[in-house]
Structure 1
Amino acid sequence: MKKNSDVLDAIDLAILNTMQRDAKTTTSHLASQLCMTETPCWRRLKRLEEEGYISRYEAILDKAALGYNVTAFVHLSVDTHTEEATRELEEKITSHPGVYSLHNVTGDYDFLVHIHCKSIDAYNFFIENTLRGLSVIRNIKTSISLREITRSNHLYI
C-alpha cells in the first residue's frame, strides 16, 4: 500500500500521535483513550506498523546524563558529486557512532552533519580521523551548540 497520510482516518492519526508521544503506551490504554475495544485497536496499530507509518520504537536518552556535552552541526562542501564519492562520504560519516544525522542539503554547503560528542577532544578526533580522511571534502565549517532550546521527534500530523 502506498504510504499517504490522506488514507489515514482520525483514529489512525490519534494512534500515531499517542505512540509518538509515548511508545510504551499499552494497547489497553490506547483503546481506552480512543473509546475502542482492544482487538480493533491492536489491529490498527499492527497495520500502521506493517505499512511503515511506524518505523520503530526507541528510548530517548539524556545526552547530558550520559556525558555527551558537545553538540555540533558540521557543514561540508565537497569537490565532486559522483555516486561513488557520495557513497564513500556517507558510509564513512554514518559509521561514526556519534553521528546523530547526516543530511544532503541545498545552499552554500552540500552536507550537514549533526553529531554528539563527550568532549571537544572527541569532536576534534572526528574531524581529524573521519572528515579529513575524505579527499572529496573541500570545506568544513562547524557550529557548536551553546544550549538546546527545544527538541522534538514528533511530526505534526
Structure 2
Amino acid sequence: MSLDLDSIDAKILDLIQRDAGMSVADIADAVGLSSSPCWRRIKRMEEQGLIERRVTLLNHAKLGLGFEVIANVKLSLPSRDNLEAFERAVSDWPEVVECITITGAVDYFIRIITTDIHAYDNFLRDKLLGLGLVSDIQSRIVVNVSKRTTAAPLGLISPFISDKTETE
C-alpha cells in the first residue's frame, strides 16, 4: 500500500473529516503551516481522491426524520441485471441513505431514514416491494444509536504515513 501522505497531511485529513467547515487558516494554524501551503495540500488530496467531498451532518430527529430502519434485502434472482436495476432504483430513493452489497444469506444492507412507521410502510410497499425484484426483507427498527461516525480511522494507517514533511 503506497500512500503519498506525511504526518501533516494526516493531521489535515483528521481535522477536516471532523469539521468540514473549518477555514483553511484555522487548519493551517492547527498543523503549523501558513494558509497557502495548507490549501495546496488540501487541493492535492482532493485531486488524488483522498478527499471525496465535504458535507454537513444534519440532526435527523430535529428535522422530523427520527425513524430509522436497517433492512436486509434478498433479491428473488440476484442476476447482474437485477442487481443493477435494484441499485439504480435505490440510488433514486431519498429515504435510502446507505446501500451496501453484502455476502451471506441476503444481498443488500440498506439504511432508511423517514418520518415514522407509516411512512416506512409506504416506502416498503410502494418502492421496495413495488420493484418486483425482492423476495425477502428483514427490517430492524433502530431504537438507539450509541456510536455513529463518518470519520475514517486514520490511526490504523499511521505506519504508512511518513514522518517527513514536504518542503513548501
After TM superposition, the score normalised by the length of structure 1 is 0.93
Deviation of the 1:5 alpha carbon = 6.1
Aligned amino acid, residue 54 of structure 1: I
Distance in 1, matches of 2:2 and 2:144, equals: 34
Distance in 2, matches of 1:132 and 1:54, equals: 36
Matched, 1:141 2:141: no
Matched, 1:27 2:24: yes
1:156/1:111 Cα in 2 relative to 1: closer, same or farther (>3 Å)?
Answer: same
Distance in 1, matches of 2:28 and 2:148, equals: 28
Structure possessing the higher relative contact order (Cα contacts under 8 Å, 6 or more residues apart)? 2
Please list every run of at least 4 consecutive aligned residues from structure 1 whose deviation after the TM superposition is greater than 3 angstroms: none
Match of 1:50 in 2: 47
SS state at 1:8 partner: coil
1:152/1:44 Cα in 2 relative to 1: closer, same or farther (>3 Å)?
Answer: same
Structure 2 segments unaligned to the other structure (5+ residues)? 155-168
Figure out how many residues of one structure are paired with residues of the other and give that number.
154
- Which of 88, 93, 98 is equivalent to 2:95? 98
Match of 2:109 in 1: 112
Aligned amino acid, residue 87 of structure 1: E
Identity of paired residues, percent?
A: 29
Distance in 1, matches of 2:34 and 2:79, equals: 54
Deviation readout 1:90-136 (Å, 9 max, x if unpaired): 11122111111001001221101101010111100110011111222
Distance in 2, matches of 1:26 and 1:35, equals: 14
Match of 2:159 in 1: none
Matched, 1:36 2:1: no
State the Cα RMSD in Å: 1.2
Asked if 1 retains the 8 angstrom alpha-carbon contact of 2:78 and 2:107, the reply is no
Distance in 1, matches of 2:150 and 2:81, equals: 31
Match of 2:126 in 1: 129
- Which of 66, 72, 75 is equivalent to 1:75? 72
**Pairwise mapping of residues 60-71 of structure 1 onto structure 2 (< 5 A)?**
60-71=57-68
Distance in 1, matches of 2:75 and 2:82, equals: 9
After TM superposition, the score normalised by the length of structure 2 is 0.87
